Amino acid sequence: MADESGEKKHEATDYRRQKAREDGNVARSSDLTSAILLLVGVVLLDTTGPSIANALIGILREVLSSEATLSTDSRTIMVELIRQTSQSSLALLPLLMGMLLTSVIVHYAQVGPLWLPEKLGMDITRIDPIQGFKRLLSITNVTRLGFGLVKIALVAGILIVGVWSKWDSILALGTTGLGAVGGFVWETMIELCRNVAIALVVLSIADYAFQRWKYEQDLRMTDEELREEMKMTQGDPHTKSRRRKVQRELAQQRLSVDVPKADVVVTNPTELAIALQYDPKTMRAPIVLAKGADLVAAKIRKIALQHGIPIVERKPLAQALFREVDVGKPIPATEYTAVAEVLKYVYQVKGRSIQEITDTLQSQTSQSKKAS
């Protein structure tokens, strides 16, 4: 049995994707978030670094240049600490807000809106050593291990090449002042970190592409899984088949009861059939007792022939009644005239009086025109 081999040859359904998402199973790369955060952090630090340094130096200078007073008043100490902390926080605020906003945007771009409060609870299976060992040897973690070794080698290579390219400048720092040394160290650090971040972003994009591919492969379904999902979402196909059979039988029984009560059957002539009944004493307008297309229409015509009910071909009328009127409902006022002509013809054939029917339908038609 080919299917029992567990071959996943069907694309994931929308239900399976939604269920996986509700379980927290989404395609995402934490390395991509970290790499983009590093890159944005380096850019922000390069931009806001001087202002942050000046602010922190100003706070430090203010503290060191003030008179050394010893205060035992805890309130005074707390006020001074809060003031200095507030100044430091304001200096760091652009950097921290930029990092926070970047983290939210990158996470949202990967997984979209996802709120799983149940994941905050403790999961005992996470501390199961056997399950943990299985997860450790999974293809995903093995791939992550290899990817991590590649990242370490790449970062080390970039740093070694970067430092080696500036080796002469580093040796020349002994003859320069402290300010020049600080500026050189800052620029070199920013340059190396930026190069490392760009390389990690490129690698992380590749990792995210792999995670997306792996996610799609994991979501694929076998024939058995697809059948089980169809049973769950749409019901057992065998049960549905039996239900449809019962519905057809009930519909056939209803036709056998309703169609014999009709005065006339209007046809298309073969595709549609509508059984009409009209009693001017009890009905304001003719009603549709039964209607159907194709096989049902053939059944209605057969029953009509068996009971001697006239069958009249009126294509536009049959199409309009089939489209606009439900079973058990009266015909619309727009069809009064056409139906009156059919009933007039039928009653003439049967030799019955048609004056009352004609007068009633004409009166109904006039009232409808006045109302409109």
The pLDDT-based confidence of 177 (bands split at 50, 70, 90) is confident
Whether 14 is covered by a domain: the verdict is no
Tokens 């650090």 locate to 189
Assess whether pLDDT exceeds 70 at residue 360.
no
Here the CATH number for the domain that contains residue 345 is 3.40.1690.10
- Closest alpha carbon to 52 in 24, 18, 90: 90
| Residues 48, 193 share a domain | yes
- pLDDT for 126 equals 59
| Residues 206, 247 share a domain | no
Percent of the chain with pLDDT over 70: 76
| Residues 95, 160 share a domain | yes
| Residues 280, 195 share a domain | no
Whether 13 is covered by a domain: the verdict is no
The burial class, CB within 10 Å (0-12 / 13-18 / 19+), for 262 is: buried
User: For the segment 31-73, what is each residue's pLDDT rounded down to a tens digit?
Assistant: 888 889 999 989 988 888 888 888 888 877 877 766 545 555 6
| Residues 189, 337 share a domain | no
| Residues 276, 161 share a domain | no
At which of 220, 255, 279 does a domain end? 220
**Structural domains in the chain (count):** 2
Can you give the residue range of the structural domain that contains 59? 28-111+128-220
Whether 273 is covered by a domain: the verdict is yes
Give the separation between CA 37 and CA 104, rounded to whole angstroms: 10
Tokens 């567990």 locate to 6
CB within 8 Å of 70: residues ≥ 6 apart: none
In DSSP notation, 225-285 reads HHHHHHHHHH--HHHHHHHHHHHHHHHHHHHHHHGGG-SEEEESSSSEEEEEE--TTT-SS
Whether 311 is covered by a domain: the verdict is yes
Phi, psi of 337 (to 5 degrees): -65, -45
- pLDDT for 4 equals 45
| Residues 297, 209 share a domain | no
pTM above 0.85, yes or no: no
| Residues 63, 209 share a domain | yes
